[in-house]
Amino acid sequence: MSGVKEHAARLRALFARAVLIGFVAVLPAQQTDKEAIAGATNYRRVEPLFACGGAVTPEAVTQLKQIGFTSIINLRTPDEAGANVPVESAAAKRAGIKLISIPFSARAPNANEQVDRFLEAVADPANRPAYIHCAVGQRAAMMWMIKRVMLDGWSVEKALAEAPSVGLTLANLRQFALDYLKAHDKQ
């Protein structure tokens, strides 16, 4: 358990440094802006530096770069239906946008480690602005909820209240987030 606490403390310290140098915009709970980005499923701007949603086409990758995103955090597993990580990776390379692949499944034995990788990725100012996505936006919204508590210092209740507007509606993913936060002494 002390390893988990040390990791959480390290993540909080990294985030605090980012805040001190002015790279993080932390906003109060709000309704997200659901804009239309052609080829980006369920795109929602959640903060000036972050958006969450679902799958993207190669054309959407180009558009994300054009509107200012510097990275895409892809939570899709390579074996899930419709996921084509190599095609997205090639589109990102052509567009000059960084692709961070963090294949996440709540049932995988390394699921908590993948959440930790996600938190490290969003805490790094070099990865912002970032579009966070999975297939339809559920996992992206769940990760965003965890980020709100672990890095932004939000209460679990406040993050839970925002989560549906970001796209989290599946009970099993909501429970995974709550279990992760509880394991990190956040509940």
In a domain, 157, yes or no: no
User: Do 98 and 72 meet the contact criterion of CB atoms below 8 Å apart?
Assistant: yes
Residue 99, both tokens: 């692709």
Number of domains in the chain: 1
**How much is the pTM?**
0.81
Least confident of 22-31, 53-62, 109-118, 141-150: 22-31
In a domain, 23, yes or no: yes
Distance in angstroms (rounded) separating the CA atoms of residues 70 and 80: 25
Q: How many of the other CB atoms lie within 10 Å of CB of 33?
A: 12
The CATH number assigned to the domain holding 29 equals: 3.90.190.10
The pLDDT assigned to 17 comes to 38
Is the pLDDT score of 137 beyond 70?
yes
Residue span of the structural domain in which 55 resides: 2-136
**H or E element, residue 98:** strand 98-101
